[in-house]
Structure 1
């Protein structure tokens, strides 16, 4: 009898020890989740969020953590690119063109998958360079009934994720990630709509006002040239009067796309007014700028715009100016801005008066004494 009681007490003690261990483990897990959430809520951009989540495996002692996100309109890629996020350097972020993969694997269920790594079910959610995880958790990110993608976690421990385990922490984490993702996407969309021209999809004048000072400051720090193009589609008023504004709008859309194609990804292109555009090209000196402007002119001239009378050709006039910073000379950015734009605009007027369909370059400026004279009227 006494031996049986001792055995029962030993078993009970074992159960209690196990329960205490689980309590301690759950408490530690909760603390890690709370630390992770605090960091997540304090991030300022979509790019920061991506980097934070993809590096969070140490928070949870995992061997893999990644995301599959749906990007039907390629907006996500654009936002990340502009935020400086390197997609190729972060293969654990998988971009999906639609929700077909998630629908195929999950149907309309929003229940996470926890269990063994099965190639047929899991492979497309994981970008693996070495070992396959033994167990995984694939959790759909759902916001307002819409699937944004999945959060994917993996462990070499086959018992880390099993189908019988509670999913409270994991689902809560996925919900927080989904909320933050939605908020950042909404912010990027709102910010983009305030800085993007709705007709052409290029940046607008408000964006130029923000960016021009930054480009000049960068040029002064690096002492590298900054070139500016002032571009004007020729005879757009006549096209509008003869064919209607819908054709005129088509001319603007096609011309802006051609201009964009001739520029680098880091060059700035804005629709300044109606048929006028401004481009900023960092580290492009005067001669290079003229060559690029000529390429733009030839590309626009090759356009054919459909009208009731057949294809109509389009031409463009371009004025160029270049700022050449002097090492150790810090000019007021506002003065450089004014002069850079004005010189490009003066060159544009010369191109228009010379018969249009041409490129005219103003002389570059860098001499501080010359600048002091030029800027007297702006001080």
Structure 2
């Protein structure tokens, strides 16, 4: 439709040019034929014709400007007026060939606007109008029929109109094809635009989905990272918990935990520092630092204020830019980052866990949190180990005297006897009791009797070797085990202990008393061949000592003089 509007506008512009030229020619002709009355009469008709064309052009311009040519009634009305005006001028104003271009353009516009059918109607309407005005011309000028010239001219007009019609049909077909192509192109273009818009929408949606996927992927990665960290933490805690439940030796436990920390956290150095509450000092217990100079720097400067503050405040420390002046234990040790967490419980401060890295900014809050969890587990382990040690002591040590009890002695005797059998070394055993102990209780009271037991126990513990084992066997009776000791050496030790006790005076406020003891001695494999025989024969020897007047040493089934003589 835009193209037809463009063609109509071009036709109007050409009409204005024609009108202007016709008006100028008319004025010039009037000037040259100023005395010709007949010419001036036709000139008036031509001016009316020009005026009519001006009105038609104005009406068409108005219709184009307001897009009214889509209205068929208005379009055909204006075309009919235009054709009537032009065919009238052709017959009565004798314009001749000047009118043909207008007729051709009108037919052409009709062919381009609608179809061949419209062009045919326009051509027929032109021929009918021309015929009517030709007949009207004969009637007005009282002619019975058209002259041969006029008939020839009318026939020529019909042929010309027909040729115009044929050409218009051809052009209209071409134009229709072009219009159809243009229409299809527009449809394709519109479809393409729709697809482009759809594609843009899909791209936008895909972009949004991609952003959502990125966000989801980021969240999944964060979740996986936290999961990995949680698994690592769980694994670490599980290992430490397993160590706590299976390792009761504190030294071995802390070494195992230190190895776990190094493996899990990937640090250069890990050190476990214990706190001596009585001396108010820190000491390095376990570390993977192996360089001699670094060990000296660590041991000498571990009691710095920064680490003591961590223990006192019970708050962990994270430092990613270590200053050796503030942390003197790091001086000349290539330490750039460190974390220190306290090993504390509600009741006691056990020490610190110190991890170090050679790179700056090596640790974050997650590392601190993990080490803090490890520290809490280690604190529990140390507390459990301390409780276990106390419980073990309560289970194996006699409360009154501080020496081992009979139950623990039985266990140690079995182990030592098995080792003596396997390795082929001597094992001696002595049993002694305090002479006339009942007299102390009856005379001075049970408290003094308890003091006698304590003092003799302490004296014996201080007089024996570290490998020797003393235990309270019952009441005032004690037993001493001498691993890797033969009969002669055992006799000398026991005799020395008897003499030392006999010279001892026990004092308790106003009470003073001397104490003597009697010993029975046995030895494997010189006298006894089994564990039970070793104990029984020592007990029998004790009864012999008591029967011999007490305050002496008797050897089972052996003449003491022979042992003494062999020593001499």
Query: Structure 2 length as normaliser, TM-score?
Result: 0.49
Instruction: Give the 3 Å change call, closer, same or farther, for CA 363–289 of structure 1 in structure 2.
Output: farther
Q: Is the 8 A contact 1:36 1:59 kept in 2?
A: yes
Measure how far apart 1:139 and its partner are: 1.2
User: 5+ unaligned residues in a row in structure 2: which ranges?
Assistant: 1-216, 290-297, 559-568
- The aligned runs of 1:239-258 (5 Å cut-off) are 239-258=440-459
The DSSP-based 3-state class of the residue aligned with 1:229 is strand
Of 317, 322, 325, which residue of structure 2 is paired with 1:113?
317
- State the partner residue of 1:370: none
Instruction: Give the 3 Å change call, closer, same or farther, for CA 229–176 of structure 1 in structure 2.
Output: same
Of 413, 417, 430, which residue of structure 2 is paired with 1:212?
413
- State the partner residue of 2:378: 177
2:544 matches 1:342: no
2:343 matches 1:141: yes
Measure how far apart 1:231 and its partner are: 1.9
- State the partner residue of 2:13: none
2:239 matches 1:45: no
Instruction: Give the 3 Å change call, closer, same or farther, for CA 285–100 of structure 1 in structure 2.
Output: farther
> Distance in 1 between the 2:325 and 2:449 partners?
54
> Distance in 2 between the 1:67 and 1:249 partners?
43
Instruction: Give the 3 Å change call, closer, same or farther, for CA 51–141 of structure 1 in structure 2.
Output: same
Instruction: Give the 3 Å change call, closer, same or farther, for CA 247–363 of structure 1 in structure 2.
Output: same
2:354 matches 1:152: yes
Measure how far apart 1:32 and its partner are: 4.6
- State the partner residue of 2:266: 61
> Distance in 1 between the 2:405 and 2:392 partners?
12
Measure how far apart 1:28 and its partner are: 6.0
- The aligned runs of 1:2-81 (5 Å cut-off) are 30-43=230-243, 44-47=246-249, 48-56=252-260, 57-70=262-275
- State the partner residue of 1:274: 475
Deviates more, 1:23-32 or 1:110-119: 23-32
- State the partner residue of 1:306: 507
> Distance in 1 between the 2:555 and 2:506 partners?
28
Ranked by relative contact order (alpha carbons within 8 Å, sequence separation 6 or more), the top structure is 1
Measure how far apart 1:143 and its partner are: 1.9
Instruction: Give the 3 Å change call, closer, same or farther, for CA 72–258 of structure 1 in structure 2.
Output: farther
Deviates more, 1:217-226 or 1:290-299: 290-299
The DSSP-based 3-state class of the residue aligned with 1:203 is coil
Measure how far apart 1:255 and its partner are: 0.9
Kindly report the root-mean-square deviation, in angstroms, between the aligned alpha carbons of the 2 structures.
Answer: 4.1
Radius of gyration: which is bigger? 2
The DSSP-based 3-state class of the residue aligned with 2:500 is helix
Deviations 1:10-34 (A, max 9, x none): xxxxxxx999999888766655544
Matched residue count: 323
Q: Is the 8 A contact 1:53 1:66 kept in 2?
A: no
The DSSP-based 3-state class of the residue aligned with 1:201 is coil
- The aligned runs of 1:356-367 (5 Å cut-off) are 356-362=550-556
User: 5+ unaligned residues in a row in structure 1: which ranges?
Assistant: 1-16, 75-86, 365-379
The DSSP-based 3-state class of the residue aligned with 1:179 is helix
> Distance in 2 between the 1:100 and 1:198 partners?
40
2:521 matches 1:320: yes
The DSSP-based 3-state class of the residue aligned with 2:480 is strand
> Distance in 2 between the 1:208 and 1:254 partners?
20
Of 403, 423, 427, which residue of structure 2 is paired with 1:222?
423
Deviates more, 1:21-30 or 1:183-192: 21-30
Measure how far apart 1:210 and its partner are: 2.2
Q: Is the 8 A contact 1:102 1:149 kept in 2?
A: no
Q: Is the 8 A contact 1:286 1:322 kept in 2?
A: yes
Deviations 1:150-209 (A, max 9, x none): 2222233343347x7762111111111112222232223223212211111211111123
> Distance in 2 between the 1:220 and 1:46 partners?
28
> Distance in 2 between the 1:25 and 1:264 partners?
58
Q: Is the 8 A contact 2:426 2:486 kept in 1?
A: yes
Deviations 1:317-355 (A, max 9, x none): 2211111299xxxx9xxx822211111111122222333
Q: Is the 8 A contact 1:322 1:363 kept in 2?
A: no
2:387 matches 1:186: yes
Q: Is the 8 A contact 2:487 2:522 kept in 1?
A: yes
Instruction: Give the 3 Å change call, closer, same or farther, for CA 260–143 of structure 1 in structure 2.
Output: same
> Distance in 2 between the 1:342 and 1:101 partners?
61
Q: Is the 8 A contact 1:137 1:154 kept in 2?
A: yes
Deviates more, 1:60-69 or 1:199-208: 60-69
Higher-helix-fraction structure: 2
The DSSP-based 3-state class of the residue aligned with 2:530 is helix
Q: Is the 8 A contact 1:69 1:148 kept in 2?
A: yes
2:433 matches 1:232: yes
> Distance in 2 between the 1:170 and 1:177 partners?
10
Higher-strand-fraction structure: 1
2:404 matches 1:200: no
